[in-house]
């Protein structure tokens, strides 16, 4: 590309301006990171309410750190817009829009919509980066032709790259800066310039040979988690059948200093990534290779059946206490998909609540981060975590063990606790606590 030297110079001098399309968790995190690194940034989103609040300094995106947002906002280098003309001034445009699954197939409509918007404003000399998680080939085969409908050519007139967001929401140890960044470009020049841009914000950039490679790196990472969680879940079922404590087995295996990484059982997989991203890969392998990604599809099956397994184990625990699920009051603690975050997307706790409710239980829930949710179409408000609520429940089921729960107090007052997460660990809180 002709203007590469100019773009390189402006990145190094931080005079390059950045537009980030999609102001969800990923896009807002990138916008904040770029503003903190002294770039001028505009965050573009189709959601007017979100944009209006962000403009006023109101953080309305779960998972983004309040301090990170406040600091970037105070820098006055970050603005927000719903108008695609905001892209006109941007030297670097990043696309961070959702990639859901619809009918077991990738739904690229948001990527297509964002790429079309970019195509209408594209001029020569820009760098366009896709950050949304997707299957290999999306950047080259879906985004590139849309951008080239502008009459400009990738590699010759503008640069096109892919860089997956890898951040783990709620993780206090790893953030945008200290999580290495994978970058793959349509040309070595595109990889180099995108790597230079991310290098201003993150400690380590890992260039790879192509957009397709970078796309698959992200899917490998999430498929790896999905499969290992399935292994832990199936191990939990087997251990229960043969009367061995799965938690003790995993912890003991984890003392091996090499060749083993502990994964723990749980109620299934939740959140925006782990249940969704591997489905992109399974779909693509079927489409392009005409075969099943067998280990991945087996993991999907195992994890999908966990809510039913957990609901059955809660029923068994009630049965052992001479009670039936029908008519029992079950207080679920923790409905978000993971500890200490409020994200309930794809949360298996909700699937478990639905199942118990269908079996006739009177379900209640408490979660410090969630005020209300839908159970079989009915809106359920959070109950208090009071002594009355705990003693009034036939079973208290800890499905997500938020760190602020006072476990000893719960064990002291509850008639029966089902501990799905081994929240009590090696403590022995008595016979009233049943572990998965």
Ligand X SMILES: NC(=O)c1ccc[n+]([C@@H]2O[C@H](COP(=O)([O-])OP(=O)(O)OC[C@H]3O[C@@H](n4cnc5c(N)ncnc54)[C@H](O)[C@@H]3O)[C@@H](O)[C@H]2O)c1
Pairing of β 181-185 and β 159-162:
antiparallel
Task: Name the residue nearer to ligand X (CB basis): 110 or 435.
Answer: 110
In the bound complex, what is the minimum distance in angstroms from residue 64's beta carbon to ligand X? 9
Give yes or no for residue 96 binding ligand X (CB under 6 A).
yes
Q: What is the DSSP string of 239-307?
A: HHHHT--HHHHHHHHTT-SSS-------S---SSSTTTHHHHHHHHIIIIISS--HHHHHHHHHHHHHH
Which window, 72-80, 97-105, 145-153, 186-194, contacts ligand X (CB under 6 A)? 97-105
Give yes or no for residue 215 binding ligand X (CB under 6 A).
no
CA distance linking residue 179 with residue 283, whole number of Å: 28
Return the H-helix or E-strand segment holding 398: strand 395-398
Q: Site for ligand X (CB under 6 A): how many residues?
A: 26
Give yes or no for residue 43 binding ligand X (CB under 6 A).
no
Point out the residue whose Cβ comes nearest to ligand X.
24
Residues in contact with ligand X, shown as a per-residue x/- string from 123 to 162 under the rule CB under 6 A? ---------xx-----------------------------
In the bound complex, what is the minimum distance in angstroms from residue 93's beta carbon to ligand X? 11
Q: Quick one: which of 40, 110, 338, 435 contacts ligand X (CB under 6 A)?
A: 110
Give yes or no for residue 30 binding ligand X (CB under 6 A).
no
**Buried b / exposed e across 79-88, counting CB within 10 Å, b at 16+?**
bbbeebebbe
Contact between residue 369 and residue 361 where contact means Cβ atoms under 8 Å apart: no
Of the candidates 347, 344, 293, 324, the residue with the CA atom closest to the CA atom of residue 394: 324
In the bound complex, what is the minimum distance in angstroms from residue 325's beta carbon to ligand X? 34
What beta strand segments (E) does 46-173 contain? 78-81, 92-95, 101-102, 105-106, 127-130, 159-162
Task: Name the residue nearer to ligand X (CB basis): 169 or 429.
Answer: 169
In the bound complex, what is the minimum distance in angstroms from residue 338's beta carbon to ligand X? 10
Tell me how far CA of residue 406 lies from CA of 69, 78, 339, 409, 412, in angstroms: 30, 40, 14, 6, 10
Give yes or no for residue 97 binding ligand X (CB under 6 A).
yes
Q: Quick one: which of 136, 169, 185, 268 contacts ligand X (CB under 6 A)?
A: 169
Q: Quick one: which of 36, 91, 165, 367 contacts ligand X (CB under 6 A)?
A: 165
The verdict on whether 273 is a catalytic residue reads yes
Contact between residue 174 and residue 142 where contact means Cβ atoms under 8 Å apart: no
Which residues are near ligand X by CB under 6 A?
A: 21-27, 44-47, 50, 96-99, 110, 113-114, 132-133, 165, 167, 169, 272-273
Active-site residues: which are they?
Answer: 273
């Amino acid at each position: 590309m002709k203007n590469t030297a100019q773009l390189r110079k402006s990145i190094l001098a931080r005079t390059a301006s950045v537009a980030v399309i999609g102001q969800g968790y990923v896009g807002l995190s990138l916008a904040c990171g770029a503003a903190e690194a002294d770039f001028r940034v505009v965050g573009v989103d189709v959601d007017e309410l979100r944009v209006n609040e962000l403009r006023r300094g109101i953080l309305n995106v779960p998972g983004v750190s309040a301090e990170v947002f406040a600091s970037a906002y105070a820098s006055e280098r970050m603005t927000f817009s719903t108008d695609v003309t905001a892209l006109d001034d941007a030297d670097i445009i990043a696309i961070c829009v959702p990639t859901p699954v619809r009918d077991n197939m990738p739904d690229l409509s948001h990527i297509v919509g964002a790429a079309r918007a970019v195509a209408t404003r594209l001029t020569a000399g820009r760098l366009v980066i896709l950050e949304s998680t997707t299957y290999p080939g999306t950047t080259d085969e879906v985004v590139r032709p849309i951008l080239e409908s502008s009459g400009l050519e990738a590699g010759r007139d503008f640069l096109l790259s892919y860089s997956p967001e890898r951040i783990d929401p709620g993780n206090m140890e790893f953030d945008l800066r200290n999580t290495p960044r994978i970058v793959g470009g349509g040309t070595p020049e595109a990889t180099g310039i995108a790597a230079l841009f991310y290098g201003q914000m993150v400690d380590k950039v890992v260039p790879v040979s192509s957009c397709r490679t970078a796309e698959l790196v992200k899917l490998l990472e999430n498929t790896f988690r999905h499969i290992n969680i399935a292994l832990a879940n199936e191990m939990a079922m087997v251990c229960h059948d043969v009367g061995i404590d799965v938690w003790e087995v995993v912890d003991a295996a984890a003392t091996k200093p090499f060749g083993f990484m502990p994964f723990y059982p749980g109620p299934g997989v939740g959140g925006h990534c782990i249940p969704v991203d591997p489905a992109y890969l399974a779909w693509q392998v079927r489409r392009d290779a005409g075969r099943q990604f067998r280990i991945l599809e087996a993991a999907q099956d195992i994890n999908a059946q966990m809510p039913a397994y957990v609901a059955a184990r809660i029923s068994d625990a009630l049965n052992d206490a001479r009670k039936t699920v029908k008519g029992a009051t079950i207080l679920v603690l923790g409905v978000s998909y993971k500890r200490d975050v409020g994200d309930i997307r794809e949360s298996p706790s909700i699937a478990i609540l639905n199942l118990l409710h269908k079996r006739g239980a009177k379900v209640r829930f408490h979660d410090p981060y969630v005020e209300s949710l839908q159970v079989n179409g009915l809106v359920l408000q959070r109950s208090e975590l009071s002594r009355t609520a705990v003693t009034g429940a036939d079973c208290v089921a800890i499905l997500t063990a938020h760190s602020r729960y006072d476990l000893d107090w719960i064990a002291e007052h509850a008639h029966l606790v089902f501990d799905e997460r081994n929240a009590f660990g090696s403590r022995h809180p008595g016979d009233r606590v049943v572990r998965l």
